[in-house]
Structure 1
C-alpha cells in the first residue's frame, strides 16, 4: 500500500487474503486505488449463467457427435488448430479402426504420419482419435474415448510414434497409420477430398479410393482374370449386394487387393467360400460406423 501511496504502483486488485474474509476495517477495503473482490468472484449470477451456456453447448456437440473445444483432463484446442484438425477427426478414428481389424494379435506399436498442412500444427488431439479407433476394436467403443485413449495405450505397453512431413505428394494433407504386432505390419492412409469427404487412399502398398464407412470386404488375391467375377457371383448367390468396388495392384499378374462396399454384413460361411477360391489369399470383412 505504501508503494501505491507514493505513486510507485498505480493501483492493485486483490482477491486472496491471509485471513478470509478480511476484517471490516482492513485498509485495502476503503483505499481509492485498490480493488477488492471475493475469492469466488466467478460465482456471480452472470458468471454462472455463462458457464452453464458454455457447458450446455459442449454437451450438445458431444451428443451430436460433433467436435468440441474442451474436455476434462485434456488440454484445450486453439480455434486456429481446431479448424485444421476438425475434418480429420473422423478420418483418423476410422483409419485406426480399419487397420485394427486388418491385423491379428496384440498391438505393439502405432506409427502415425502427418503430411502437408497437418505437419504445421499440434496434432496430438488427432492422435488421440486414431489411437481410440485402434483400441476400440480390442476393448470396445464404450471403454475408450479421446481423453483416456493415450493412457490406455500406455497401460498396455503400446508404443505411439508420430512423424511429420511437409510434403503430402498428391494431397493437401495425408494421415498414414502403420500398426505393428508381433507377427505383421500393416499400413493404411487417408485424407479428405473436397466434394467427396473422407477417403482411404492407400492400403499397404496399394493405391485405392474408398469411402471409410459401412460394411467393407477386403480381398487379397493374385491378379488373374475371372477373380472379380467369381467373388461377385458368390456374393450375389447369397443375396449380398455390392455397392462399390476398388481394385489395387502394383504389377500385372502380381499381388493385388479388392475392396468391396456391400449393403449388409457378410455371413462367415460366405467369407469362407470366397477365401477358398483359387488365386485368392484372404477375405476379411471390416465394419466402420
Structure 2
C-alpha cells in the first residue's frame, strides 16, 4: 500500500512507514493536478500546513483511508468532506507540546530583557548598555490565556521561576488548575493582574480577536506573548499598544497571515519581537510528530483504533442503529447544559435511563462531551472530547438506570462544581423526534434546534405576556413555547423557540424586569 507525503516530515517518520510495509511517495510543492494524480492509489496521506486537503482532492482518492497531519493544526483539512468520504483525519497534538512551551519561555525572556534589540545594536557596533533595563520574572504575575497542554507546560516552567500564575480557561477544572499552582479567573481579571500575558488557545470563531485594544489596555505596562495561533490577538491593536507605551513589549511567533506581510505594523514596532512560526521547529518535535502520524496511519490501515482521530467514532455495527438517534441528542444536551451553566466544571455526569441503558453508550457519552467543549476548538468531536475532559481534570461520570419514568429512554447531562449544577434531559419520540424534556427538573417539551431563549422567572400573571411583548417589539417571532413551574407563585422556567436571534438589548430589557430571574439565549444552529 502507498502512503503519499506532500509536505516534508522528519526522516524518522518515513522510515517508520517503510518498516510497516508501506511504499512511500513524496510530492513536495506539487501543483493540484500532480497531487490529484499521485493520490489516486494512496491509502494514506501525510501533510503539514502546506497542503490544502479539499473535497475535490478527496474525491479523487478512492483508496484513501486516513489523512495524517504531522502537527496539531488541521485548518487546511476539510474534515467534513473527509468524513463524508469515510476518511479518518488524525493529528499529532503531543509531539510539539514541549517545543512550543520552551519557545514561549524563550520569547518571554527575549522581550522582557530586550535581547534581540540589544543584539542587533551590538552587531552594528553600538554598546547600548544604558538603553536597556530589563524586567525580572521573579515575583511577577503570569497571566495564561488557555490552560491546555501547552499552557500547562508553560505554567510549570515559568511557575518554577517564582512567578505567580493566574489563568483564564472556562473549560478546565479548578482542581487541575490548582495542581499547577494557578488561580482561575475571568479574562479581564487575568489581564488586569498580569505583568506578562501568554496566549495558548486554538483559533476558533470564539477565540478569533479575543485580545483586542480593550483587552490590551487592561495589560497596561505589561508584555504580551503569543506562540499559539495567529488571529487570536488583533495585530494592529497590539502594534499600536506597544508603540504608544500601553505595553512595554510583545513577542509573537504566529500571525493572522503567514508569511507576515512586509507592511505589517508589527515589523515597525521596536519593542515587538517576532519569529517565523518556530514553535515546533526542533529536531525532537519534528521527529515526534512524524513517527506519531506514521503509527496512526499503520493503525488505520490495519483497522485498529487511531489514537488521535478527529472524526472516527467507533461502535459495533449491529448496535449502531439503536444508538445513533441519541448521539446528536446527547451532543445538544451537553451544549445546552454548558451554555446554561456558564462556569468552571468539576464533574460532568451523563445518565442513561430506560432502554438506552441496555446499550453500549461510550460514543453517546463522548458526544455529550463534544457538545460541552464545542466552543473550545472547532475540531472537537466524539473521539477527542473525552481526552479534553481528562486534560482539564473534569471527572466524567456515566451511570445507568433501568427505569425512565414517563419515557422509553432518557439521557440526562449534569454539569456541576462545588457551587452549583445544571441538568438537561432529552429523549427520542417515535420517528426520530428529539426533544429536551427537562431542564433542572422543570418539565418542558422543546425541540432542540435553531434559536432558543430560556427564561427563569417568578410565576406571576403577565410574565409570559411581557416576554412575548418584548420579543414582538423587536420583531422576534415565537415558534414554540414550553413552560414548567415548581409551584403556583414559585419559580418557573420557560423555553421559547424563536425564528431569529434575539440581540443583547432584548436580554437586557427582559432581565431589567424584577419578575425575570434570568434570560439566556442558546444558539443551537451553526449558521
Q: Fold conserved (TM > 0.5)?
A: yes
Indicate conservation of the 8 Å contact 1:245/1:259, yes or no: yes
Change (3 A) 1:180 1:234: same
Asked if 1:113 is matched to 2:347, the reply is no
Aligned mate of 1:257, from 493, 502, 509: 493
Partner of 1:93: 331
Aligned mate of 1:72, from 298, 306, 313: 306
Indicate conservation of the 8 Å contact 1:116/1:173, yes or no: yes
Aligned mate of 2:366, from 114, 123, 128: 128
Instruction: Measure the CA separation in 2 of the matches of 1:283 and 1:52.
Output: 50
Structure with higher strand content:
1
Aligned 1:228-247 pairs, distance under 5 A: 228-247=464-483
- Alignment gaps of 5+ in structure 2: 1-19, 22-42, 44-60, 67-78, 87-302
Indicate conservation of the 8 Å contact 1:71/1:147, yes or no: no
Indicate conservation of the 8 Å contact 1:179/1:185, yes or no: yes
Partner of 2:395: 159
Partner of 1:226: 462
* 1:67-109 Cα deviation digits (max 9, x unpaired): xx99733673112221211011110000000000001222111
Change (3 A) 1:53 1:210: farther
Partner of 2:453: 217
- TM-score (ref. length: structure 2): 0.42
Aligned mate of 2:430, from 194, 212, 215: 194
Indicate conservation of the 8 Å contact 2:347/2:395, yes or no: yes
SS in 1 for 2:518: strand
Indicate conservation of the 8 Å contact 1:104/1:181, yes or no: no
Change (3 A) 1:59 1:183: closer
Which protein has greater RCO, CA pairs closer than 8 Å, 6+ apart? 1
SS in 2 for 1:107: coil
Instruction: Measure the CA separation in 2 of the matches of 1:287 and 1:70.
Output: 37
Indicate conservation of the 8 Å contact 2:313/2:382, yes or no: no
Asked if 1:62 is matched to 2:62, the reply is no
* 1:111-169 Cα deviation digits (max 9, x unpaired): 010111221122111111000100113x13x1311111111110011110001011111
Asked if 1:207 is matched to 2:443, the reply is yes
1:63, CA displacement in angstroms?
3.3
Instruction: Measure the CA separation in 2 of the matches of 1:259 and 1:114.
Output: 23
Partner of 2:216: none
Partner of 1:5: none
- Alignment gaps of 5+ in structure 1: 1-38, 41-47
Aligned mate of 1:173, from 409, 416, 423: 409
Partner of 1:22: none
* 1:203-257 Cα deviation digits (max 9, x unpaired): 0010110010011000000110000111111111111111111110121111101
Number of positions where the alignment pairs a residue of Structure 1 with one of Structure 2: 240
Instruction: Measure the CA separation in 2 of the matches of 1:95 and 1:182.
Output: 21
- TM-score (ref. length: structure 1): 0.75
* 1:5-29 Cα deviation digits (max 9, x unpaired): xxxxxxxxxxxxxxxxxxxxxxxxx
Instruction: Measure the CA separation in 1 of the matches of 2:80 and 2:494.
Output: 40
Instruction: Measure the CA separation in 1 of the matches of 2:456 and 2:319.
Output: 38
Change (3 A) 1:128 1:70: farther
Instruction: Measure the CA separation in 1 of the matches of 2:505 and 2:85.
Output: 37
Change (3 A) 1:198 1:245: same
SS in 2 for 1:246: strand
Change (3 A) 1:64 1:55: closer
Instruction: Measure the CA separation in 2 of the matches of 1:132 and 1:243.
Output: 27
1:64, CA displacement in angstroms?
9.0
1:190, CA displacement in angstroms?
0.3
Instruction: Measure the CA separation in 1 of the matches of 2:390 and 2:444.
Output: 32
Instruction: Measure the CA separation in 2 of the matches of 1:52 and 1:149.
Output: 29
Output the aligned Cα RMSD.
2.9
Instruction: Measure the CA separation in 2 of the matches of 1:193 and 1:272.
Output: 35
